[in-house]
Chains A and B, each alone.
Chain A
Amino acid sequence: MLETILGNSTIERILFFIAVYKEGYAKQMADTFSISLNGVQQQLNRLEEGGVLVSQKKGNTRIFTFNPRYIFLDELKNLLNKALKLLPEKEKKKYYRNRTRPRKTGKP
């Protein structure tokens, strides 16, 4: 939907992912969308270099979030939220309804 202005569909998916879940890491996004890890990493680097995202290392994982200093952050979030609402319900359920609440260790 926004890939024309964002440049490609991987960037669109990454930004949708962060808009919904607030944070994410490359493998998690690649697995969610069944796309190449290398492609996700490349686009994450691009977004980080452009100041849209920032990352922090937690353990061995690099977690990405929106950069609170990105000057167009409010506008970008509005755009993404509008686009997310227009996604087909099937798409929303498949990618943007993952469980994020805690789950006790050992619980199946």
Chain B
Amino acid sequence: MTKINWESITIKEFAGIVSYALKKNNIDAVLVGGACVSIYSGNKYLSYDLDYSSYNTIKEIKPCLEEIGFKQTAPNRFEIKKCKFYIEFVTWPVTLGGSKAITKFNKLDSGKGIVTLLTPTDCVKDRLAAYYHWNDPQSLEQALLVAKNQKTNIKDIEAWSEKENKSEEFKLFKKELEFK
């Protein structure tokens, strides 16, 4: 592999390198959270924190990341010198709230490796979940960024919002989305 310039790397390339290093060691990990928003919005929102969900333990993950120069800086966090991005591992399985886990993901070729991540529709739901549960306006903004930049299934998001008893909040999201 050619030398990586960690200082100037993009989030998509970073995610590709990390995913490749894990996959090489037979570890499946799904990129979730704000990093998906960055990728889907073309960096209109930039996250420095890449949340991965994996069934594997930190003990199993650690040597794969150390191999490419990462250091563990907290129980679930890994960082690399001179790089603004860092990785955190969140619990498995990937959920959006409720008792259903997400099992279908998107695959994206970053040029440095294949990244498994939330689909744009689930990414919008993920952000809306934070808006619904914690009334977080930043999450609403991020959901809108993804929905405006990617093809998403709005009917599916509406049905999910209804199940979450958040139809009123969904209406606000839809109104903002239609506002040009």
A residues near B (Cβ < 8 Å) are: 49-51, 56, 68-75
Number of interface residues of B (CB under 8 A): 13
User: Are the CB atoms of A49 and B75 closer together than 8 Å?
Assistant: yes
Which 8 A-B residue pairings sit nearest by Cβ, starting from the closest? Answer: A51-B91, A69-B97, A71-B95, A69-B95, A68-B133, A68-B97, A49-B75, A74-B99
Bound CA–CA A23/B133 (angstroms): 14
Q: Identify 20 residue pairs between A and B in the complex whose beta-carbon atoms are under 8 Å apart, listed by A's number.
A: A49-B75, A49-B76, A50-B91, A51-B90, A51-B91, A68-B129, A68-B133, A69-B96, A69-B97, A69-B129, A70-B91, A70-B95, A71-B93, A71-B95, A71-B99, A71-B101, A72-B99, A73-B99, A74-B99, A75-B99
Bound CA–CA A69/B164 (angstroms): 12
* A-chain residues with CB within 8 Å of residue B75 when the two chains form the complex: 49
Nearest CB in chain B: distance from A46 CB, A? 9
Bound CA–CA A14/B33 (angstroms): 27
B residues near A (Cβ < 8 Å) are: 75-76, 90-91, 93, 95-97, 99, 101, 129, 133-134
Which of B93, B95, B129, B133 has its CB near the most chain A CB atoms (within 10 A)?
A: B95
Bound CA–CA A50/B96 (angstroms): 16
* B-chain residues with CB within 8 Å of residue A50 when the two chains form the complex: 91
Bound CA–CA A56/B136 (angstroms): 12
Nearest CB in chain B: distance from A51 CB, A? 3
* B-chain residues with CB within 8 Å of residue A73 when the two chains form the complex: 99
B100 to chain A: closest residue by CB:
A71
Nearest CB in chain A: distance from B99 CB, A? 6
User: Are the CB atoms of B76 and A56 closer together than 8 Å?
Assistant: no
* B-chain residues with CB within 8 Å of residue A68 when the two chains form the complex: 97, 129, 133
Bound CA–CA A56/B130 (angstroms): 13
Complex partner residue of A56 from B97, B99, B134, CB under 8 angstroms:
B134
Bound CA–CA A68/B96 (angstroms): 9
* A-chain residues with CB within 8 Å of residue B97 when the two chains form the complex: 68-69
